[in-house]
Structure 1
Amino acid sequence: MPLLQFETTLELTPAQKTDFADTVRELYSEVMQTGTSHAAVVVRERSPAELSLGRETDDDRLLFLDADIREGRSADRKRTFARAVMDLAADEFGVPTPNMKVVFTEHEGPSMMGYDRVGSDWSPEEGDGT
């Protein structure tokens, strides 16, 4: 039951946001070896004054991802997903790669809930768990 929250200075149309969210959901499913129906994606546009990096950049296109996920995936698997999302933003919207950040926060499965379900811990049936 991941919650993938993007903060960005990009100005995106509703269709671009929908397409981006759909592609992110598919990437998450593929890399993390899980389904898509429970993956929530949020895309929030911010003004350049609302987001900043600690270093100077000549481009104000920024994209940050705060990914709340179930614990159990390896660092390599998380890195693969992070790079895939950043590559997508670079390719689709021209966000410079130094202007993107991804932070993972891991939760026990039962800490992640929908109205009609409580998440479970990682299980090998969903993938190899690496």
Structure 2
Amino acid sequence: MPYLQLDVNGQYPPEAKARLAQLLCETYASMMSVDIRRISVAVRECGDGGVWRMIDGRPQPVAVLMCDIRRGRSAELRLEVAKSLCRHCIEILGLHEDRLNVEFTQHAGDEMYHPTLGGYSPEWSEDERSGA
């Protein structure tokens, strides 16, 4: 973790998904002060009509970005991260801002296991933000 999961309607070229994954990772790592090697990204193509939300009383196709993250960041920081991640989804995949939601699920560090990086993720602290 973090695990960024984008559910979308339709299909996209692998190159676009790879570019999006790179930008999401770089932005998230920079803004949330995390080792970029801990970040995983999934772009789930649910096909036409795979993801819906009720808008003005009618079902409309939408996209949802689920972010499983370590707990501890402020609501203000999460808002800025959400806006930045949305910009990448809009620019790379052409998603519509008013049809894209971001949801954060916060976890303790010991709910995120990375064998390559030595096991469980440490708990996030303000020291990571300052680079200490």
Scaled to the shorter chain, the TM-score interval is 0.7 to 0.9
Length, aligned pairs only: 128
Residue in 2 that maps onto 1:52: 52
Residue in 2 that maps onto 1:74: 74
Whole-angstrom CA distance in 2 between matches of 1:13 and 1:84: 22
Residue in 2 that maps onto 1:29: 29
1:92 aligns with 2:92: yes
1:118 aligns with 2:126: no
TM-score by length of 1: 0.88
Structure number with the higher strand fraction is 2
TM-score by length of 2: 0.87
Residue segments in structure 2 that go unaligned for 5+ positions in a row: none
Aligned CA distance change for structure 1 residues 115 and 123 (closer, same or farther; 3 Å): same
1:12 aligns with 2:12: yes
Q: CA deviation at 1:34?
A: 1.6
Whole-angstrom CA distance in 2 between matches of 1:90 and 1:40: 20
Structure number with the higher helix fraction is 2
Residue segments in structure 1 that go unaligned for 5+ positions in a row: none
Whole-angstrom CA distance in 2 between matches of 1:10 and 1:96: 14
Q: CA deviation at 1:58?
A: 9.7
Code of the aligned partner of 1:51: V
Residue in 1 that maps onto 2:108: 108
- What CA RMSD, in Å, does the superposition of the two structures yield over aligned residues? 2.1
